[in-house]
Amino acid sequence: MKNKKILCCLMALVTAFTVLSGCGMGNPSQKTVEMVAKGFQHDFWKAVKKGADQAGKDLGVNINFVGPEGEGAIAAQVEMINNAINKKPAAICIAALDTTASLDAVNKAKANNIPVIGFDSGVPGAPEGTIFANASTDNYKAGELAAQKMYETISQKLTTGSSRIGVVSQEANSQSISMRTQGFLDKMEKLIESTGRSVAIIGHTKFSNGKTQGDVIIDVAIPPEINDTQGQTSAQTLLNKDDLIAIYGSNEFAAKAIINADAAISGGRIGNDKVVAVGFDSGALQIDAIRNRKFLGSVTQDPISIGYRAVELAVKAMNGEEAEDVDTGSQWYTADNIDSDAIKPLLYQ
């Protein structure tokens, strides 16, 4: 009887340990992938973590996902990267807030034979050979998608007379945002010129096509500082131009600037068959604008896929397999599909 009681106690302990493991302790017999994101509180990163956790379950690896409280905490993130490397994981995935600040850590990982995978924006400009591969959105292609969807709606308005398309871009230095802007500009210019009409891209020297006059003006506005007031001012300057027929915001900040600028104009200009507005990413204001058809639609990244594919690359790296960068895709969403199973998980408030 005594041995039977001991056996029952041992079985209870095993069951308890199994339950605790399922709640996040991980399986000590499995290899671990450390993931350091740009943030942790934002819903975008929670969606990335969701994808990473699912990949961990599917592929049999432990996932430890961390990130600083805000996307301005560069020093805190670098410390997290170093802490992750010190644990000697099978692989580490990084979405660096600042490449320069992260280089020592990336080189340290390489010296310790720990493969580094970039996800989301990755570690742009890192020395050759330090990054195994990247799982990220093809931002140029996503910008092209925004242009294509806008063009399908405004094409008839572009056939006669002069007209203006506004572009609000948060900044000119961020690689991801710049590529979303450039992809939009190149695609829109190509689509318009295919009809025999000329295009001048003005407003910022980085994106200018060298022309000052054209049948269609694409006017790029970049605020002098990244804050809501400056963003709204830049968007409102465009919305106040009488020949404006459409406007594009290349990220959540820019889309929000357009929405707030429009709210400050008596009667508003976007939506209701007036100025066609297209955005990027999501956020509460933008989602509301799409539901109410103030925005034609927006392009969203696939954060769940970003997390999942980053872990896939990590497993390939730890197994000594070869791999190339992965485009995690982007989706177009409108009031008609915003609540669909394909789109809803990709959006954040």
- Domain borders along the chain are 31-137+303-328, 139-301
What pLDDT is attached to residue 162?
A: 87
Exposed / middle / buried, residue 259 (Cβ in 10 Å: 0-12, 13-18, 19+): buried
Q: What is the mean pLDDT of residues 47-67?
A: 96
Judge contact between 314 and 285, C-beta under 8 A. Answer: no
Per-residue pLDDT, averaged over 168-190, amounts to 93
Query: Same CATH topology for 31-137+303-328 and 139-301?
Result: yes
- Quick one: which of 192, 202, 187 has its CA closest to 156? 192
Q: Is the pLDDT of residue 60 over 50?
A: yes
The bridge status of strand 163-168 relative to strand 244-249 is parallel
Q: Which fold has domain 31-137+303-328?
A: Rossmann fold (3.40.50)
State the Cα–Cα distance between residues 333 and 244, nearest whole angstrom.
23
Q: How confident is the model at residue 69 (pLDDT cuts 50, 70, 90)?
A: confident
* Digit-coded pLDDT (tens) for 94-141: 999 988 999 999 999 999 999 999 999 899 889 999 999 999 999 999
Taking domain 139-301, whether its CATH number is 3.40.50.2300 is answered by yes
Q: Report helix, strand and coil shares of the chain as percent, to nearest 5.
A: 45, 20, 35
Indicate if the pLDDT at residue 17 is higher than 70: no
Enter the tokens of residue 303: 């954060």
Tokens, residue 298: 């927006």
Contacts of 280 (CB under 8 A, 6+ apart): 142, 146, 180, 248, 249, 250, 251, 252, 254, 255, 298, 299, 300
What pLDDT, on a 0 to 100 scale, did the predictor assign at position 11? 47
Residue type, 180: R
Give the model confidence (pLDDT) of 309-347 as tens digits: 999 999 999 999 999 999 999 999 999 999 999 999 899
pLDDT higher than threshold 50 for residue 304: yes
More confident residue, 348 or 301: 301
- What the block records as the tokens of 206 is 């980085």
Q: What's the whole-number average pLDDT of the chain?
A: 90
The predicted model scores a pTM of: 0.81
Name 109's Cβ contacts closer than 8 Å, sequence gap at least 6. 85, 92, 115, 116, 130
